[in-house]
A and B are shown apart, each in its own frame.
Chain A
Amino acid sequence: MKLTKARALILIAFSVPVAIELRTVAGFFNVELPLIAVAVIEFLFLALLFVLYGLYGEGSESAA
């Protein structure tokens, strides 16, 4: 499946609620996640998406 711009945008959109509530989920397991950790995780996710877009994105040759 190609990672189109639209699909990438949708993935980014859905990552926002997950990131916001990540600390609650961690709280269930008695892990106190600081805000900065969440920011880093979200940033890493976006970076990963960016790389994947470069590899499998609309402009690239290879199709996943």
Chain B
Amino acid sequence: MATASGGSEFVDKFPDEAAIIKASFLIAFVSLGIGAFFGLIQALHRTNVLRVIDSADYYTLLTGHGVLLAIVFTIFFLCGVFHWAVARSLDRPAESALFSWAWVGLMTTGTVLATVAILGGLVPNLGMSADVLFTFYAPLQAHPIFYIGLAMFIVGTWLSGADWFLSYRAWRQDHPDERIPLQTFMVLTTMIMWYISTLGVAVSVVFFLIPWSLGLIESVNPLLTRTLFWYFGHPIVYFWLMPAYLLWYTVLPKLAGGRLFSDPLARVVFLLFLLLSTPVGIHHQYLDPGIAEGFKFIAMTNTMFLLLPSLLTAFTVVASVEHGARQRGGEGYLRWLGALPWRDPAFTGMALAGAMFAAGGFSGMINAGMNINYLIHNTLWVPGHFHLTVGTAVALTMMAGSYWLVPQVTGTKLYSRPIGLLQVIMWFVGMVFMSNAMHRAGLAGIPRRTAEPQYQNFEFLTPIGSIFELRVQIALGGTLLFLSVVLFLFNILLTSLGEESDRPVDSYLPEPLSGPEGSPRILDNLAMWTGIAAVLVVLAYTLPLAGIIQNGGGLFGGGLPVPATVSAGFDLVMTTVTSAFNTLWGVVA
């Protein structure tokens, strides 16, 4: 974080980058608006409060909601933030504005195609639908346009990463001996993780799902597409979280009036995520037959290791914020909390997002435990959990961050701070209602992903309160959340239409208390860390994948599945290795 913006605003200094960031944010926010509207409809529908759609269309909206929010909104926003962070921290524009527009264009086209395929489901005689939920694995099948859009979107993200690596390479030539600036370091490690993990979903989409939806192949091995999805589906969680962490580490301490506690620690955290986030995806498949218990157990232990970088983050970020409060004259064990800038929606939103993330972390530990997972698997508990994590820790941080970032790329002042404050608090309260009730409903056994959870001749029971109360809470929470999004969009729209102002926000980011000099140089050796991450992935996935292919009747399914054992995967690997060895021996001898 060496450079201060020195008075001149980001938009004046990097007009091309500001334009790219604005475009990314625009698409992110449009998706947020549509997705939140679908969220409201679902929340009211499944609680039987108000039904405006046919229950048969629930999956269509749920797919739109999941894809537009968890994939399009988060990732477009991430691209904007990362583009800002790289230009700002390297203090140089991207190598080619045309190239930057190319990835924005490709991702946008992909988004439009996928969205058209999803919404096509609402028009019966169109013959097009993609009700495959945001997890899109077989046996659910979508129109080919959906998968093609998805593939374009992913390739677009690959190009965006290339854009930032090119900037970094150019910077490195001018600064051969300097440490990688912290924000760039965060962007690069996150993108390496993304490259490794999207390989899985790319294989699944390009080799199985597209040919299958086009009718070129007759069947796929559903467990294989599920496993390839979750190979990517867990790391994508960190792809959502990393931009939030970037803002928590580098912007939040400043907003609190202080500075980051430790730059080296932040680097270690990002490296740990790079190493640990991919070899754990099987923890989403604890109940999948066809994967041996042993592999599930390994995925569980790996998952528990992943708690470490998140706990380190909690400590560092809270320490930095406390430091800020004390700089502002805060005192006492807890009274310093009162000295924080609660009036500032950017600060308050991020702080509340962090607080809710702690709650989400606890329910996440429950999800991760192989045995207690059985209790909550596929119940409403699960959306309860991820509306705290991606739906709040990430989405609320992104909205709060916008109050500080958008003025920098538009050059205009935030339209209203009080409305912003009200908005982030409304999100917090709405999410407490919705998420808490979802967790509880899950404990009572109410399933997720269904328009009509109420069954004939069957009653769900809760130990405290009644199911009726839970339904009311979900509907009320969902309504508050939707209103909060409306306030947000309104505030941002009026901000961007406002008059240009000299100094819309104070964009200076102070140096950390303990700078990068203290960290070992080996942290900057990105090639080595990539290598280690790849080895871990190979170790975690070779045997399970071999087993899945063997048990599930080959790459393209079709055969009858046989029960899973560790030895099945092992057999396949052994046969392959022995036959390769024999062939080689034959050549040599």
Contacts and interface: CB of A to CB of B under 8 A. Distances in A.
Given A4-B342, A10-B342, A13-B352, A23 B464 contact: yes
A7 B342 contact: yes
A40 interface: no
B425 A9 contact: yes
B465 A10 contact: no
A10 B432 CA distance: 14
Interface string B453-469: 00000000001110001
A35 to B, nearest CB: 7
A16 interface: yes
B289 interface: no
A20 interface: yes
Interface string A1-29: 10011110110110011001101100100
A13 B338 contact: no
Interface string B434-445: 001000000000
Interface in B131-185: none
Contact of B465 (A6, A9, A23): A23
Given A9-B421, A9-B425, A4 B436 contact: no
A4 B464 contact: no
Q: Please tell me the size bucket of the interface on B.
A: 20 to 34
B187 to A, nearest CB: 32
Binding site of B, secondary structure by majority: helix, strand, loop or mixed? helix
Contacts of A16: 429, 432-433
Contacts of B335: 1
A7 B432 contact: no
Nearest to A20: B436
B436 A6 contact: no
A22 to B, nearest CB: 10
Contacts of A9: 342, 421-422, 425
B464 A10 contact: no
Contacts of A5: 343, 418
Interface string B34-77: 00000000000000000000000000000000000000000000
A20 to B, nearest CB: 6
A6 B343 contact: yes
B238 interface: no
Contacts of B488: none
B432 to A, nearest CB: 5
B348 interface: yes
Interface in B339-357: 342-343, 348, 352
A17 B432 contact: yes
B433 to A, nearest CB: 7
B261 interface: no
A24 B421 CA distance: 30
Contacts of B473: 20
Nearest to B466: A35
A24 B464 contact: yes
A13 B425 contact: yes
B82 to A, nearest CB: 30
A12 B464 CA distance: 24
13 contacts: A4-B342, A5-B418, A6-B343, A6-B421, A10-B342, A10-B348, A12-B425, A13-B352, A13-B425, A20-B432, A21-B436, A27-B463, A35-B469
Given A9-B421, A35-B469, 19 more contacts: A4-B342, A6-B343, A6-B348, A6-B421, A7-B338, A9-B425, A10-B342, A10-B425, A13-B425, A13-B428, A17-B432, A17-B436, A20-B432, A20-B433, A20-B473, A23-B464, A23-B465, A24-B464, A27-B463
Interface of A: 1, 4-7, 9-10, 12-13, 16-17, 20-21, 23-24, 27, 35
Closest 9 CB pairs of A and B: A6-B342, A6-B343, A17-B432, A13-B425, A1-B338, A13-B428, A16-B432, A16-B429, A23-B464
